[in-house]
Structure 1
Amino acid sequence: MFSVPQTLQNVLKELLIQLQDRHYRVFYTHWVDTAILRLAILASSDLQDEEFAPVYLVMRFLRQRRPAVLSLLLRAMMTLSQRGEMARKMEVMLPDLMWVLQYGNKAIKMKALVIFRNVMAQLEREKASPIAVRLAEFLLPFFDDELSQLRKISISLFRDLMKMVVGNDKRKMKNMVRLGLLPLFFRMSDQVQSVAKVQI
């Protein structure tokens, strides 16, 4: 279910209907503490991008500190973010995804980076540009991570971010690139071929 966007979206939307039928003021009940309700709200196609933002900002469910629950949320978000309309809703979550990059474990960071990649690809360059500069700074430490998959996705995402910057952000991004040149040079001879082949 988690791997098929349309199936996951339909299941979550139906679940949201059931929860709302069962509890009149659903946002003020104990269901607000469950990951499923929050995913269902995100998957609801009736909730437009601009309407989803205030709902999320009240809930801030990516600040969940239980790794198992956060991992579940991110896994579903990875699938949902494959659909353009879902990915655009997730723009409001990006600051909290950066928080996840700071405090999550490696598996959680990997999921967050996949979501970043999917969401950023759906944003107009004017919106993506300042986010790209901030995100690039978070990626630099991952270039030397012991986990090869984390090295690979961070370098690949960094490359994509460089293409998104416009205007004054280009100068800031150049500074990020300078900071990353040395570790990237060493990664060209990475023992893991898939990492070594990633081109900036």
Structure 2
Amino acid sequence: MAIEDPASWLTDVPEIVRCIYRHVEYINTASARRSLDSLILCLANQRPREVASTLLQMWPSSDSAALAMWETMFSQKQTMENVLRETLGVLQEQKLRGLPGFIPEDNCIPHLALLAHPDVGEDDLEALRHLQRLLKHPNRVTYSVVLSALLPASETPVTARKLPVLLPGIIQGLHVARADTKMKALLLIGNVMDHVKRKQASSIALQVAGDILPLFNDECSQLQELSICLYNKVMQAVLWYHKRQLKKVVQRGLLPLFFHLSDQTQSVAKASLEALVTAADFLKQGKLKHLAQTEQTWKIAEYLLVQDKGKVEKYLQQSLPYLQHTQVALREAAVRFIGLAAQHCKDQSEMKIHEICSILRPLQNDEEESVVSLATQTIFILTRPREQLTSSWCRRALCCCLS
């Protein structure tokens, strides 16, 4: 009723805001929470100044209830812009009237309001310092609120160029955030790289490259695609004198990118292919680049295993998590790769082959018949008596049954 007739119902805004504040953390059912969020957005759209003023007056430093209300208001760009504009107005009014506590020490909202409006003068430097401190050890909600406000601001070159100082905290927060918040962080980092000078973009690339890799295997396909695309941008942004520092990270990314060539989400597979071409170019591996450009998937696997025998054991270890992947295609790819890698191990002892087969045996109970078949055939080939097989025969057999 309040949403349908706000003029009649939403009269005492401060009292309504305080009531929501007292109860927001106790409303957990999805339908009730959607209704409450709609009410908060309605209030923010109808009376943004009163909502902002009330929350600023009563918000302690780390209050999750108030943070949840700000986060809801920030879920819609236009609402967020209006609320932050009114927040800034309230703060400037307090300052003119000489009221104490112009910007509360641990309250990120006033600092976000300052940054969201680049015409405020030198105050944004103080805002950056406070946000930098808050981002060193942020809780999830604070991190999400900050990113919700900064992401639209980062699309403006003037604001984006101020944000590199905040990136260490934003990158650190990637390890604890929800998938949707991680996506905001990656988009923000990409925006900043687009708007700063090439030398600074190269430095940012070094900061973020290693933290992007784990996101390739996130459950959210949108986050996977976004992380791979940013990784591609990172490799292209690095200047020649930084390339040596990034080389090991790029090498670590080769196998995950190879596996995601088989990803069932076509946009992820496409992004992986493009990033693999860039990685091959970065590492000056012309043959790998050609194999990627011509999409010769299993020749890529052979190339990786032959190119550096010393990395075969690392590749084996790196491939193990893909045996448990939710996608059938990636489990199949992992079985295929491990079967081929077994033939390139320096250690060809019976014990080593037994160890590799023991890794594959649980896949013989997989719910997908194709995975069971691949695992069974691979184990059969690998456990053939050594004297009956030549290495080349075994590889041909593996390539035949696993292709």
Written as runs of structure 1 = structure 2, the 5 A alignment for 1:1-200 is 4=77, 12-23=84-95, 24=98, 28=101, 31-47=104-120, 52-59=124-131, 60-63=133-136, 65-198=138-271, 199-200=274-275
Are the equivalent residues in 1 in contact too, given 2:111–2:130 (CA < 8 A)?
no
Distance (whole Å) between structure 2 residues aligned to residue 81 and residue 160 of structure 1: 17
- CA distance 1:65–1:127, change in 2 (3 Å): closer
Distance (whole Å) between structure 2 residues aligned to residue 171 and residue 90 of structure 1: 26
User: 1:183 corresponds to which letter in structure 2?
Assistant: P
- CA distance 1:47–1:92, change in 2 (3 Å): farther
Distance (whole Å) between structure 1 residues aligned to residue 267 and residue 126 of structure 2: 40
Are the equivalent residues in 2 in contact too, given 1:64–1:70 (CA < 8 A)?
no
Query: How many angstroms does 1:72 deviate by?
Result: 2.2
Are the equivalent residues in 2 in contact too, given 1:32–1:38 (CA < 8 A)?
no
- TM-score, normalization: structure 2? 0.44
Distance (whole Å) between structure 2 residues aligned to residue 20 and residue 127 of structure 1: 33
Are the equivalent residues in 2 in contact too, given 1:133–1:172 (CA < 8 A)?
yes
Distance (whole Å) between structure 1 residues aligned to residue 213 and residue 143 of structure 2: 23
Distance (whole Å) between structure 2 residues aligned to residue 13 and residue 58 of structure 1: 19
Distance (whole Å) between structure 2 residues aligned to residue 19 and residue 140 of structure 1: 41
Distance (whole Å) between structure 2 residues aligned to residue 72 and residue 152 of structure 1: 23
- CA distance 1:58–1:34, change in 2 (3 Å): closer
Question: Which structure has the bigger radius of gyration?
Answer: 2
Identity %: 39
Distance (whole Å) between structure 2 residues aligned to residue 41 and residue 154 of structure 1: 29
The root-mean-square deviation of aligned C-alpha atoms, in Å, is: 2.6
Flag structure 1 segments of 5+ consecutive residues without an equivalent.
Answer: none
- TM-score, normalization: structure 1? 0.84
Query: How many angstroms does 1:34 deviate by?
Result: 3.2
Query: How many angstroms does 1:145 deviate by?
Result: 2.0
Are the equivalent residues in 2 in contact too, given 1:53–1:92 (CA < 8 A)?
no
- Secondary structure class of the residue paired with 1:65: coil
Query: How many angstroms does 1:162 deviate by?
Result: 1.0
Query: How many angstroms does 1:146 deviate by?
Result: 2.2
User: 2:94 corresponds to which letter in structure 1?
Assistant: R
Distance (whole Å) between structure 2 residues aligned to residue 197 and residue 126 of structure 1: 29
Flag structure 2 segments of 5+ consecutive residues without an equivalent.
Answer: 1-72, 276-403
Query: How many angstroms does 1:11 deviate by?
Result: 5.2
Are the equivalent residues in 2 in contact too, given 1:130–1:165 (CA < 8 A)?
yes
Distance (whole Å) between structure 2 residues aligned to residue 170 and residue 66 of structure 1: 34
Query: How many angstroms does 1:13 deviate by?
Result: 3.9
Q: How many residues align?
A: 197
Distance (whole Å) between structure 1 residues aligned to residue 150 and residue 178 of structure 2: 17
Query: How many angstroms does 1:132 deviate by?
Result: 0.2
